[in-house]
Chain A
Amino acid sequence: MTLYNRYVATLAVLFTSTTVVLAVYNQQRLDLYFSLYLIEYLASTLLFVYLKPRARRLLNMMGYVLFGGFTVVVAMRMGQILGLPGLR
C-alpha cells in the first residue's frame, strides 16, 4: 500500500469510527463531529512525517481552511452562550 493510500485509508477509518461511536451515543451536534474530524486530521497529518513537501504544503492549506471552519463553529457556540440574537 502506498503512503498516500495509507494516509487516506487512515483518515477514512478514523472519520468513520468517530461517526459510528458518536452516533451510538446519539450525538446530534455537528460542531462536535467537525471538531473531532479536525483533531484527527491534524494528528494524522503530523504523524505521516514523510509526505512530500508539496503535499504537505497543500494539506497545511487544507488544515487552515478546516481550522477556519472550526473557528466559525466556536464563534457561533460562544454567541449562543452569550445569548446573541439570531444564534439561539
Chain B
Amino acid sequence: MAAWATSLGVQMTNSRNRYLLLGISLMLGGALFAIAAYAVIGYMPLVALGVASVILGAISFFLGRTVPGVSVEAGQALFEAGLDNIASLVEELGLRSRAIYLPTSLTNGVPRALIPLHGNPASPTVGQRLEQRLIVRFGPGPEDRGILVATPGSAVLASLDLKGVSTDTDLEGALSAAIVGGLDLANRVTVLGTDENRTVEIFRPTLKLRHHPVYQVLGSPLASIVATLTAEIVGRPVSIVAEEAGKRGRHTVQIRLYDEVKA
C-alpha cells in the first residue's frame, strides 16, 4: 500500500517536475555556455545560443509552475473509479435514457446531469430549480422523475472561468479554451451548426480510456465536458445524441439543445 502510494505520489509530481527541471537545467547550462563561449572563443552566435537557452529555460520554468500536480495517469485512475460508482448506480436502477446536461441556473449553481427514470422526454420542461438530491422531480407529470449526477464535465466546469462567455457565438472559443488550453485534451475544437443540433469536432484527443458501460448514458468524458460547457454557455439543457471516434484522430460529438427554460 505504502509502495503504491509512493508510486502515485511520484507520478503526481513527475509532469510538473519535468518542466521545472528542464527550465533550471536550460537556464544554468545556457548561462554557463554563453559565458564560456564569450570568454574562451568570443564567438557571438554561440553566445546567442546560450542566451536563447536561458530564455527557453525561463519559459519552461514558468510553464512548470502552472502544470497541475496530478499526472494524466493518476487522474485517469481516480476518474475511472468515479465512473464505476456512477455505472453501478445506473445499472442497478436499470437506466437507459440519455443524460440531459443542465445549466447551473437550473441546478442551484452546481452543474449536474439529469438522467430521466422513464425514458427521454421529447422536450424536458424543467419548471423550477432542481434540488440537490439524488432523485428529483423535474416536471409536473408523474413520470417526470430522474436522478441528478455529477459528471466529468461538472468537475471541469468548476475549474474554469466562463465570465464574459455568455452567447453561443463564443461556444467554439470557450470549448477550445477549456479542452485545448485548460485541460490539454485535444489539439483543436470546432463547432458546426447553429440551431438545435450542433456537431462538435475534437481533433486528436489525448484522453485514451477503455470503453465504459456508463458512456451509453452519460457519453464519453470528452462528450460530457462538451455537453456541460455548452449547457452552461447557452443556458439551455443539452443532451448527447451521438458520438463517433472517426479517422485521423477526429472525435465527433453531436449534441441537441432543448428549448430555453425559465427556472
Interface residues of A (CB under 8 A from B): 2-4, 7-8, 11-12, 15-16, 18-19, 22-23, 27-30, 33-34, 37, 41, 49-55, 58-59, 61-62, 66
Q: How many residues of B contact A (CB 8 A)?
A: 27
Chain A facing B: main interface SS:
helix
Interface residues of B (CB under 8 A from A): 19, 22, 44-45, 47-49, 51-52, 55-56, 58-60, 62-63, 65-67, 161, 176-177, 180-182, 184, 206
Q: Please indicate which of the listed interface residues A8, A29, A62 has the most CB atoms of chain B within 10 Å of its own CB.
A: A8
Other-chain contact of B48, A11, A22, A55 (Cβ < 8 Å): A22
20 more A-B contacts (CB under 8 A) besides A8-B22, A11-B56?
Answer: A2-B184, A7-B59, A8-B56, A15-B52, A19-B45, A22-B45, A28-B44, A28-B45, A30-B44, A30-B48, A37-B48, A41-B59, A51-B181, A52-B66, A55-B63, A58-B62, A59-B62, A59-B63, A61-B62, A62-B58
With contacts defined as CB atoms under 8 Å apart, how many contacts are there between chain A and chain B in the complex? 82
Q: How far is the CB of B233 from chain A (nearest CB, A)?
A: 16
**Shortest beta-carbon distance from A20 to chain B in Å:** 8
Please determine whether B51 and A30 come into contact, CB atoms closer than 8 angstroms.
yes
Whole-angstrom CA separation of A53 from B63 in the bound complex: 11
The answer to whether A59 touches B184 (Cβ under 8 A) is no
Least CB distance, B54 to chain A, in whole angstroms: 10
Which of A4, A7, A66 has its CB near the most chain B CB atoms (within 10 A)?
A4
Q: How far, in angstroms, from A7 to B45 measured CA to CA in the complex?
A: 23
